[in-house]
A and B are shown apart, each in its own frame.
Chain A
Amino acid sequence: KNQVEQSPQSLIILEGKNCTLQCNYTVSPFSNLRWYKQDTGRGPVSLTIMTFSENTKSNGRYTATLDADTKQSSLHITASQLSDSASYICVVIAQGGKLIFGQGTELSVKP
């Protein structure tokens, strides 16, 4: 069964601090892995896209890593801001284009 599991389920950090979100997957084969940011009640917005041959991808304060051998990905957020408060969803795209979602990590950044 294809699965994408994220941890932690929720996270509270202080403004300015760094954090790392984890994603483990069993989808095989897959074409690429994406991290999305989803504000409450809104659609997900893409942060990073990585193919299985890429190890790291950065987008401003967001850095995603991918280890295709262990089937793990992480999203590191540096110097967090209040606007980073959102749900972060790991999505694995199986061959054929089907999107398989993790359940998300709810991040709350406090002043």
Chain B
Amino acid sequence: ETGVTQSPTHLIKTRGQQVTLRCSSQSGHNTVSWYQQALGQGPQFIFQYYREEENGRGNFPPRFSGLQFPNYSSELNVNALELDDSALYLCASRAPNTEAFFGQGTRLTVV
């Protein structure tokens, strides 16, 4: 149990639709980062939020966006879904100068 909860656990969407994935972190975890993990691959960094501001971004297009809220929860939004967006999406949160804890992931399938 890492104290980081993601919802939903599984999701099926149609190409072109929009999706919102959620992550609930432990109190005090003011840094949250999101990752996309394709089958058989390591996680790829999407972006990171610190105190509700994006402070780092990987090589993902603008249709991947996020929000972080004062209650330590966050969202990953993906617009205009493509088939290649099918993956496990992970969030990781941490307090200052501590290790990151991962949620269990959301398995997104785009058909």
Chain A residues at the B interface, C-beta cutoff of 8 Å: 4, 34, 36, 41-46, 49, 89, 96-104, 106
Contact = CB atoms under 8 A, between A and B. Distances in A.
State which size class the interface on B falls in. Answer: 20 to 34
Contacts, number: 50
Nearest to A42: B104
Q: Is the interface of B mostly helix, strand, loop or mixed?
A: strand
Given A34-B99, A49-B99, A97-B31, A43 B90 contact: yes
Contact of B45 (A46, A98, A104): A98
Contacts of B48: 97-98
Contacts of A42: 104-105
A43 B2 contact: yes
Nearest to B56: A98
A44 B90 contact: yes
A12 B90 CA distance: 27
Closest 8 CB pairs of A and B: A43-B102, A101-B42, A103-B42, A43-B104, A43-B105, A44-B102, A101-B43, A43-B103
